[in-house]
Amino acid sequence: MKLVIIEGVGKKDTIKKYLGSDYEVVATKGHVRDLPQKTIGVNVKNNFEMQYQIMPDKQDIVKMLKEKSAKADRIYLATDPDREGEAISWHLCNILGLNPNDPIRIEFNEITKNAINKGLEHPRGINLNLVNAQQTRRVIDRLVGYRVSPKACKAIQPNLSAGRVQSVALRLVVDRENEIRNFVPQEYWTMIASLKKDSSDIFKASLAKYKNKKIVPANKEEVDGITAKLNGGQYKVKTVKKSLSKVHPAAPFTTSTMQQDALNKIGLSLKKVTSCAQQLYEGVEIGSEGKVALITYIRTDSVRVAPEAQKMAKDYIIGHFGKEYAPNTPNEYKVKSSAQDAHEAIRPISLERTPESVKQFLSTENYKLYKLIYNKFLASQMTEATFNSVNVEIENNDYIFKCNGKTPVFDGFMKVYNSAKKEKQTDTEEDESENAKLPELNEGDVLDFVDMKTTQKFTKPAPRFTEASLVKEMEEKGIGRPATYTPTITLLSNRKYVEKDGKYLKPTELGEKLIAFLLKGYEGLFNVNFTADMETKLDEIANNGLDYLAVMKKFNDYLEKLIGQPSEPEHTGIMCEKCGHEMVKRVSKYGEFLACSNYPQCKNIHNIVKTVGVCPKCHGDVIERRSKNGKIFYGCNNYPKCDFISWEIPVEKKCPKCGSYMTQKEVYGKLRIKCSNENCDYSETVKKESKNEENS
């Protein structure tokens, strides 16, 4: 009997079906050996010796693996084809007494009979470069967690975690929030002219230039002045430029682009995308066929497509759409220099297995994701779309208005996937001057003026991150890798460092306090460039055999140098009435409090009361409180004489409809004020005052 050891139990039946009765397939369910839970487990003074232990919840699995391996004629390690999978196989060698240099490691990018058999035909030894890269990441993350996290817990509150990648991702969210807070809107105006030629349909053109220089009116006075000058002239076509424009299909999915499109186009959360993709990769029950894998390996940063997959796509496209939809030579896409390029792009295993043909066997989410992946790959192998484009400039008294039109000539890849589709826009001036169809215009044509639409607008800050846009930002800045995006962002939510405001990620007060603390003493460690550089070094270990012990030593030396810098809690200038030392501000899970800096010799503490409003019942002070699970609510300071409580801050304004008191809540930079009476639907939204306005 031959034994094949895999990671995920979900693909066990799929693989077993292809291997037959001569093979037994067992799953480790992830890692079985790791650093100890309660100690650092790394001896930095002895070449970073790692004290691995069998994980407590994997004792039975290890026992089973030892029993089965002892009876097996041949053992194959078929863990996932990435660094984590390679490390798991290396750990199994140590646990089961296997020689890592023997040809025992097999890998495949898709779970098909051909791919598995090909893997069995070419077994190899363990790739120690991949293992060393994984171990280096594990050790460095452990050093950060065990040396920085306790300091954050001491300064802020218990049970905080400072992660090498996690904290930098959180910093991106916090930095964006500060940009939004500090953003000063600038007024500007748009001017959209409605014009027509003879009896043609009305079309729109937007003000773009004055005397060949870009112009954006800054206020109503400028608009009125421009309008006055325009009224005395005529609208005349200055230039007409016609061209055949081409749109090339986008590359097939990587892990991050799949996550982004799945959120933006079909509304799946990051966690749900990862779960659905895993199921599609491992296999789903397809009627009498049993478990069938539908897509290739899902953790990849490459857009490379195997030649056999390109041929499969070309044959399918010609057969179902016609030769004109298949390019003469396969489309090639540039792989980013930072990509590991260990695997193909994410694609369907067989194009004959269309989304509609398997829809009845898939959950709604799995069907939507499979269709997205299927169409994206198919489109990436098709010809470009072409359009007749026309760009027109219209002049009136040295003012230039622009408009453009675009009509499709050949749909190409857009027949199956419109990757150029824009998200819904809030500002529509671009849309109004982009006309689907313009009348036949020629230079010198004099146009009839219909009306002018002028609109006051204000510049807006960059929006908060969504899960998808945060993944994109992390990828672009080189923070983390395909396998780390989902766990990193999920951890920020689980630890309550960020919260959802609609689909957007907003840092919590705790998340902001943690970043403020880390930047005081450890800014050099928790910044984008340092983190991206470390990811590059890990890649060099994996790909080129860079000395991993030297990388760990250099990092540890830098970390120890940083740890020596004091990171103090916030000073207050208030003296302790018991011992005369300064009181400092600290935070517990119940909120901020004052504590004597002479602790533990002096244990004097005082609560900090934060007043937020006036009680609508007794007119006492409403203060911020915290529930047992740490959630903020608001209650009267005269409790228990007054029992007023609210999840939102009460305001003095009465509801104009029913007279009840109203409450306020910040919703993405604006204050939503609503009636507290659940039977009354009155609400209003007001612009939140900036700190400068509050202090003026």
**Catalytic pick from 281, 297, 417, 548?**
297
In DSSP notation, 616-637 reads TTT--EEEEEE-TTS-EEEEET
Within a 13 Å sphere around the CA of 250, how many CA atoms are in the beta-carbon half? 16
Cα separation of 181 and 383, whole Å? 45
Crossing angle, helix 467-477 and helix 485-494, to 10 degrees?
130
State how far the Cα of 403 lies from the Cα of 567, in Å rounded to an integer: 58
Residue whose C-alpha is closest to residue 270's, from 484, 55, 574: 484
Residue that the structure tokens 């994206």 belong to: 376
Q: Which contacts of 35-38 are long-range, i.e. CB under 8 A and separated by 24 or more positions?
A: 35/138, 35/142
With contact defined as beta carbons under 8 Å apart, do 559 and 143 qualify?
A: yes
CA distance 651 to 675: 10
689 CB-near residues (< 8 Å, 6+ apart):
none
Terminus-to-terminus CA distance in the chain, angstroms? 81
How many C-beta atoms lie closer than 10 Å to residue 374's C-beta?
A: 23
Query: At which residue do the structure tokens 């066997």 appear?
Result: 361
Question: Can 668 be counted among the known catalytic residues?
Answer: no
Q: Read off the tokens for 398.
A: 């040295």
Check: CB of residue 333 under 8 Å from CB of residue 303.
yes
The angle subtended at Cα 128 by Cα 72 and Cα 120, nearest 5°, is: 40
3-state secondary structure of 205: strand
Query: In sequence order, what are the residues at sequence separation of 6 or more whose Cβ sits closer than 8 angstroms to the Cβ of residue 342?
Result: 81, 82, 300, 302
Rounded Cα–Cα distance for residues 608 and 629 (Å): 19
Could you tell me which of 132, 118, 86 has the C-alpha nearest to residue 105?
Answer: 86
* C-beta separation of 383 from 413 below 8 A: yes
Give the tokens for residue 514: 């943690």
Long-range contacts of 265-273 (CB under 8 A, 24+ apart): 265/372, 266/368, 266/369, 266/372, 268/365, 268/368, 268/369, 269/467, 270/467, 270/468, 270/471, 270/485, 270/486, 270/489, 270/490, 271/486, 271/490, 272/365, 273/369, 273/486
| Contact (Cβ atoms closer than 8 angstroms) between residue 311 and residue 270 | no
**What burial class does residue 643 get, using C-beta atoms within 10 Å of its C-beta: 0-12 exposed, 13-18 middle, 19+ buried?**
exposed
How does strand 203-210 pair with strand 399-410? antiparallel
Contact 638, 647 (CB under 8 A): no
User: What six digits make up the tokens of 100?
Assistant: 């890592």
Query: Which region, left, alpha or beta, applies to residue 335 given φ > 0 means left and ψ of -120 to 50 means alpha?
Result: beta
In order of 85, 357, 584, the CA distances from 5 in angstroms are 11, 32, 56
CA 573, CA 563: separation in Å to the nearest integer? 26
Catalytic residue ranges:
297
